[in-house]
Amino acid sequence: MESILIQVTGVDNPGITAELMGILGKAKARMLNIQQVVVGKTLSLSLQVSLADQTHPVLKDLLFKAHELGVHLDFQMLDESIEEKSEGLQRYALTLLASELRPEALHQVTSVLAKHNWNIDTISSLGERPVSCLELVLSADPSTLDAVKSELVSLVGDSGVDFAIQEEGLLRRAKRLVVLDMDSTLIQQEIIDELAALHGVKDKVSEITHRAMNGELDFEQSLRARVGLLKGAPESVFTEVRSQIELTEGARRFCRVLKRLGYKLAVISGGFIEVVGPIAHELGLDYHFANRLEVQEGVLTGKLVGPIVGPQRKADLVDSLAQQEGIDLSQVIAIGDGANDLPMLALAGLGIAFNAKPAVQKEASTAINQRSLVSVLYLLGLRGEEVLELEKKL
């Protein structure tokens, strides 16, 4: 069946859409699609309709009314062959983040999309603070997804633009659980490095930490080696370290907004419960897991108590929390920066390497290199003004 694409542009004023809909209603037109955007004071309205009565002078009536309203109206006939081209295509949401999104960066991104015949359906600005963000909804052949991701990774790294590609649909907007790593993700420091500094062994511990986070060392062995260097430190170091902890920029705001929206929040850390617990409580997190250091007579023994929270246990805890909350893993967001976070990032519906080590960014499906955790909210489709409005109610 033929359909009609009607496009209206001009200075926006109240009542334009209502007047045009009144004419279409009298003509018994069937609405197939509609998109309306106002940028500044300029209206862009697109309508796809079909007519039961092909003899009705609806187009003449629309053109006359558009002239009367001071807007420009154009139309074209569409046939089934155009509709058939969309069959077999998948819709994706491409989120672009940068301190400033410049035309040259958008040229690079859209050139990659065009090369692989990805069609841009809509472009929306989600906000300008704390980062600039655009969301592109795209139609594409799923078989080209890996190639597009690979090319975007190679170009956006040099331009300072981060991106995330997600299937556009209900599940993207139905996330319910956010799981975060603690060290260098929720907080700016590495807890064990801070403990080591107070005990005078920071250089030795930092070297092992760096190699472990880059995946060069087995996590459990490296952890036991670092903990062994803490032997003899007084229990009071926990209090001293907690007083020195700095949250990642936007962390408190990130947690408050998500809690208000009904999300469950958890931290799963390879750090230590003696420091992680109070921070999780302060931020109102629902769950927290970390390693426990053995203390005897007020002194650290250099040993661990209980199961090690390493890479596989992190993933197992994500799976367990999802089951406990009665949600699918596709509804989980996991955020981390180290090699020990990769299993849980891979398991979650959306796994984000946040300011991560190069080896981790290479393996993760999504990498964000912005300073503020609030930037992650854009990946959920939230708009900057929505976040600000919500914060006023907190």
| The pLDDT value given to residue 170 | 80
Question: Does 3-84 match 90-168 in CATH topology?
Answer: yes
pLDDT of residue 1: 54
What Å distances lie between residue 98 and 129, 133, 142, 338, 394, CA to CA?
Answer: 10, 7, 26, 22, 27
Residue with tokens 């841009």: 120
Distances (CA, A) of 194 to 135, 208, 268: 39, 14, 19
Residue 187 DSSP code: B
Nearest partner of 199 among 279, 270, 302, judged by Cα:
302
pLDDT one-digit tens code per residue, 24-62: 999 989 998 898 888 889 999 999 999 877 767 899 999
Token reading at 360: 């981790």
Domain boundaries along the sequence of the chain: 3-84, 90-168, 177-392
pLDDT given for residue 155 in this prediction:
78
Asked if pLDDT for residue 386 goes beyond 90, the answer is no
Question: pLDDT digit string (tens) for 281-330?
Answer: 999 999 999 999 999 999 999 999 999 999 999 999 999 999 999 999 99
Looking at the chain, the number of H-run helices and the number of E-run strands are 15, 15
Q: Which residues are catalytic?
A: 181, 183
63-99 residue pLDDT tens = 999 999 999 999 998 865 555 556 679 999 999 999 8
Cβ–Cβ < 8 Å for 10, 42? yes
Pick the CATH number of 177-392 from 3.40.50.1000, 3.40.50.720, 3.90.1150.10, 3.40.50.920: 3.40.50.1000
Say whether 334 sits in a helix, a strand or coil.
strand
- The mean pLDDT of the chain is 91
Residue 148 pLDDT more than 90? yes
Q: State the pLDDT at residue 260.
A: 92
What is the helix (H) or strand (E) element at residue 367, kind and residue range? Answer: strand 366-368
Summarize pLDDT for 245-275 with one digit per residue, the tens: 999 999 999 999 999 999 999 999 999 999 9
Statement: 3-84 belongs to CATH 3.30.70.260: yes
Give domain 90-168's CATH superfamily.
ACT domain (3.30.70.260)
φ and ψ of 238, to 5 deg: -60, -45
Whole-number pLDDT of residue 77: 86
Quote the pTM value: 0.84
